[in-house]
Structure 1
Amino acid sequence: MDHDSTFDAVLFDFSGTLFDDTSVLDPDAIAASGADLGGLTATEVVRSVLAHVDSPASLEARRGCDLSQEAHRAVWTRLIAESGPFAPDVVDAVYAALTDPAAWTPYPDTAVVLKALHDRGVRIGVLSNIGWDIRPALADAGVLDLLDAVVLSCEHGLEKPDPALFALACQEMGTPPGRTLYIGDDPVKDGAAVRAGLPVYLLPTERAVNRERGLGAVLRLASA
């Protein structure tokens, strides 16, 4: 890497930054599971689940759920069950859809930008608060082999905004925090990277399905 450039590495958030998080729960996948939906359509099940899990009380209940795979499953299956209430087979079908790597779609500019950074010799990492292994989703998108580090909260018992997790990611990439640009979309969780010494670029909260995320700005920042 040319040390006259601004950054040696770029570290990305996963959900809402590289991959679309607005259409993960696919009603078709839930319908195809064979679960007894109790007379509801799969679309109605998804609508009920989303309304409940995104409520203020549920958001509070989700605190710490990404610290381990066991915690993630326990918290999310309980919230899914409450949202109906739904029977265990429906809960399992919804949770399977939520954590299915194939359900997570990269933004159209994700692979393009990661490949461009890789071709420039910039080290690349992904850091995510998540309760399951996202590497298969990254592989399906053709970007896993471009990455120097994949750091998941559930594998380290740490989650953003803890500065220790950002520091750990820099350590795994082998780059100093001050020369590692962090890209995310959450002002609180992702913005906390500054507490670990990383410069931060936050993407707008608003995003649309099948639309570029605006990651091209990263290429301009990384080569400023």
Structure 2
Amino acid sequence: MTPDIQTIFFDVGNTLRIVVKDQPFIDKAEADLMELIQTKESHDELFEKLEARWNVYRKLSKSTLLDVSEGELWTQFMLPDYEPNMVFANAPRLTRLWRDHDGRRVARPDAVETLKELRARGYTLGIIANTVTETEIPDWMAADGVAQCFKTTILSSKVRLRKPDPAIYHLACRCIGTPEANCAYVGDNPVRDVEGTQAAGFGMMIRIDEPDTLNKEKATGKEFIPDHVITKLSDLLDIFPARG
């Protein structure tokens, strides 16, 4: 029987937004980070060190299914050898610059209109995302005019829990007021997003086909089957008709 989906939760990275490689943008982010911390290290020394420390943190967070705050990330993991008060005070800015050194994050071409149409069709929308930044997603929502589309935004950096722990999905359902069986989740990760959604008892899981994510997850050897696979966000409009 087709579940009665009332609420649709979304992942953000590689689902609602993608990364565009923009070298001048990347170069500026890295230069701004170096200037912010007044480093005496060379560019290559600093970023090689940061990448190594970032990988250590990522491995830990994935094994424990817990995330830390931005202040803890930078004072304890990324820059423990720099003056802690300076690092803590600048942690939100450091996080944004660190994210920007991957490239420019932009919404998928059909994201905004699809979100607005789903809301107009009577669905409640929310976000459940693993992220180290507490401000980037809310700022994007405001900039692209979709903040009003979302009733609940659950970020791992704020609630500490991270996908695929079912607890983060249960928390989102309590916040938004919809039982798990009446919720759907849209994400790109073929392991984490599908596993967590199904373990939490969601009524439906939709995976958007994202080649970069698939290539990264091939090595896990795990396989979870979503209810639907889509190639673009507007395909959701074929899955979710107007309610009532």
Amino acid at match of 1:214: K
Distance 1:75 1:185, change over 3 A: farther
The range that moved more, 18-27 or 136-145, is 18-27
Distance 1:171 1:34, change over 3 A: closer
Amino acid at match of 2:133: W
Amino acid at match of 1:12: F
In the alignment, what sits opposite 1:193? 197
Query: Matched residues in 2 for 1:215 and 1:124: separation?
Result: 14
Distance 1:78 1:206, change over 3 A: farther
Query: Matched residues in 1 for 2:206 and 2:188: separation?
Result: 8
Amino acid at match of 1:197: G
In the alignment, what sits opposite 2:105? 104
Aligned length: 204
1:5·1:223 contact (CA, 8 Å) conserved in 2?
Answer: no
Query: Matched residues in 2 for 1:67 and 1:33: separation?
Result: 20
Tell me which protein shows more helix as a share of its residues: 2
Distance 1:219 1:58, change over 3 A: same
In the alignment, what sits opposite 1:135? 138
5 Å-filtered alignment, 1:13-28, equals 13-21=11-19, 23=21, 26-28=26-28
Amino acid at match of 2:232: G
1:65·1:131 contact (CA, 8 Å) conserved in 2?
Answer: no
In the alignment, what sits opposite 1:178? 181
2:186·2:205 contact (CA, 8 Å) conserved in 1?
Answer: yes
Pairwise CA distance, 1:96: 3.8
2:53·2:78 contact (CA, 8 Å) conserved in 1?
Answer: no
The range that moved more, 26-35 or 160-169, is 26-35
Pairwise CA distance, 1:147: 0.7
Pairwise CA distance, 1:122: 0.7
Distance 1:53 1:34, change over 3 A: closer
2:11·2:127 contact (CA, 8 Å) conserved in 1?
Answer: yes
Distance 1:117 1:185, change over 3 A: same
Query: Matched residues in 1 for 2:95 and 2:157: separation?
Result: 16
1:62·1:75 contact (CA, 8 Å) conserved in 2?
Answer: no
Q: Calculate the TM-score normalised by the size of structure 2.
A: 0.67
The range that moved more, 140-149 or 60-69, is 60-69
Amino acid at match of 1:222: F
Pairwise CA distance, 1:62: 4.6
Pairwise CA distance, 1:164: 1.2
Q: Secondary structure at the match of 1:187?
A: coil
5 Å-filtered alignment, 1:27-176, equals 27-31=27-31, 35=35, 40=43, 48=48, 52=52, 59-63=58-62, 66-74=67-75, 77-78=78-79, 95-98=95-98, 103-133=104-134, 134-176=137-179
Structure 1 gaps of 5+ residues are 82-87
Amino acid at match of 1:72: L
Amino acid at match of 1:157: R
The range that moved more, 5-14 or 141-150, is 5-14
Query: Matched residues in 2 for 1:65 and 1:5: separation?
Result: 31
1:12·1:183 contact (CA, 8 Å) conserved in 2?
Answer: yes
Q: Secondary structure at the match of 1:26?
A: helix
Q: Calculate the TM-score normalised by the size of structure 1.
A: 0.72
In the alignment, what sits opposite 2:210? 205
Query: Matched residues in 2 for 1:13 and 1:54: separation?
Result: 21
